Structure 1
């Protein structure tokens, strides 16, 4: 009976292996939260509500070195840090920072007996910088303000330049760049839009605004801007690559491949274009072409961990498991914190009946990324807690 259970587990894992590539460009990932470069793990996964990420209150407040209290009768949360007091109430959009009332886009919620709070609001209220990366579904929090001081200085200098010459599109472009670097994408879009208003032929401003839209997950708007940039500068390999990436995020893989191919024509040494082209081919189930493109990316950049990883996925989909393992091993050698490489190598080991090695890899994936739900589920199927 136990043997039959193991076989069923392996079948389920192999099914996962053969379905990986379609999500790779489309970006259907769990929401991740990083604080000062380290991934946070929660007992209740973060959720997206009304375009706001909510996380369990105690974990985030403790991670930000904040004293937190909970009033069960009123369902009020109070957090105190270095003279700053933040108060929120479950279900209410009114919050307070040092007695100043703030209107929330999304109130705190209770999910699975856990109180979830809007992440951006609480982090920024406590003095941290927050960036949302829509391409990886990751919230990046920087609580060390000195690390963003140079970016703030760039904004200040660009703002002074704008005050001196409000008709200078370059000044708006420069401030947009500073906002883009800090992850303040809406502000970046506003400045790039002003630069375009002042100079409608600025391919750079369209390209950069497209980048900002892409970071926000607004891929159709990004494509429109990349297309305009290409009209003005048909030799821009970067514009073709970025538009191809946006098409891939929308699942339009044939269009993505066309753009990646054009980027390669313009820049034959564009390793990233080969990698993304291979990823698009993999998403279409054309694994041989995926292998060819990723091999070219590796030829151009022998230390390109992602290229080994994605080539390994393609080999796995073709049943060439030993080659897949070799590539996953190389990806891990180049990037020892490559959680996905550990996970998929574990899937291949499971397919080959090497269950002990599979379990070791799933555990390693969780060590690197404690929020890696697929690895945790894979361990559960083997009766191992993660």
Structure 2
């Protein structure tokens, strides 16, 4: 026993050292294949990667201003202006509120913000490799339209949310993207008033389902969240809206747990589709005849499904491309 104890102690010390080294390793960040160097390294907090805001925005040529009195950062690039306050979970992109998973914080004099917020505010795409602790950011492609951000002028989108516990990113991110492209967005739910997201975001509801006619819109987009199963999966009025839109050749899209609504409406039979990897949700898709695939975004004709909050930006961009006819 006396011989074994020292061996056990050495093994424990070895594993502890390995864990400490792993935890202290800062994620690497690449923009368009070029690695960024930061004076304050990125870190992972509550499962989210935080990076120095100034370093990323300046890498894209944005101007950054710091207000020490209010602890507020303002970054501007082209037609995009981003404002966020240290410690606050709400940031603003062109005046529209966006809920952050993790608030901005100051580390060694630098403001660190959630990577996904920074990238999506600039219309970029992000990939995370957990094995190598590497973040890859692909900058937004240049648009060919003579009026950037307004190529969907005249298009109308019905954005559906649960009255409670919708997933904030899956509502606010698409809403922002659609609005910036000139789309008229109408928010619908089971009741009028203010809907509340899982992360505390608030959204004004314009119409209840009974007032909606699919023929008035070019697309029906359904946000997810845990409230989807409670309020949306079995809602007959919403199912009617989706079925009408599908029959009329409109774009129908759903993300997170909400592809189940499309499945129950008969829109996914024989089609590839994704959904949040919850066993009950996956079973719903398969039972409805869908070909379930575990991908971030899946397009099948004019039907779009997204997997989770991380896919919200890509999901909205795919819907936008379908609306533009590209």
Q: Give the TM-score category using the shorter length.
A: 0.3 to 0.5
Name the TM-score, length of structure 1 as normaliser: 0.36
Q: Which has the larger radius of gyration?
A: 1
Q: Which has the higher strand share?
A: 2
